[in-house]
Amino acid sequence: MIAATVPLSSIATEPRADITATKHDGFLPRSLRAIENNTQKAFTRYQDNAGRIYWVYLPRKSSTLGARVYPETTNGTIQISVFEQDLRNPSDITKGVGIENWTTVIVMDDGWEMKLADLAGRAMKQAEKKPRCLCGSILRIGVTPNDDHQIFVCANAPRCSHSASIKQYGYTFN
């Protein structure tokens, strides 16, 4: 089943300065091999210095967004998220902001392989979008002042005050 609402994992929401990651091409245990076999080839496997293995897709053309697949082997779930990459260093896959509307967690029960392939594909498509403001500047993730909900705000703020709902830029995962 797909959880209705899920918190972003701590690794996703609170990247720490001491976390680094490098491409991983070593041995994979069977459970992680199954994840990779059901994730699009365009995802690259990384391992961080805490030992965690996950997969990241960054669109080849410059984009502010990326897709990530984080397995949680301790409870048999997989988080699939679209991230806004760090705008100063978009290729740093240890940083960025998880987009809540474009995040889901699947349980590795019957049929999880197809769910993963489907949702990872959707996350890739979302990551290839380039949300633009009416003024032509990029839109970046912000939060509403009152309730802390994520919205798109213009990167040209405060000169431009436009914002947009995230839903406007694609279906939600949940």
Contacts to Zn ion by CB under 5 A: 133, 135, 137, 154, 156, 160, 162
Whole-angstrom Cα distance, residue 47 to residue 32? Answer: 12
- By beta-carbon proximity to Zn ion, the closer residue of 91 and 161 is 161
Residue 50 · residue 107 · CB < 8 Å? no
Provide, rounded to whole angstroms, the least separation between the CB of residue 140 and Zn ion: 10
Phi, psi of 84 (to 5 degrees): -85, 120
Q: Least separation, in Å, of the C-beta of 166 and Zn ion?
A: 16
Cβ nearer to Zn ion, comparing 22 with 161:
161
Whole-angstrom distance, CA of residue 121 vs CA of residue 118: 5
When the beta carbons of 42 and 164 are compared against Zn ion, the nearer one is 164
Cβ 160 to Zn ion, closest distance in Å?
3
What's phi and psi for 34, nearest 5 deg?
-65, -35
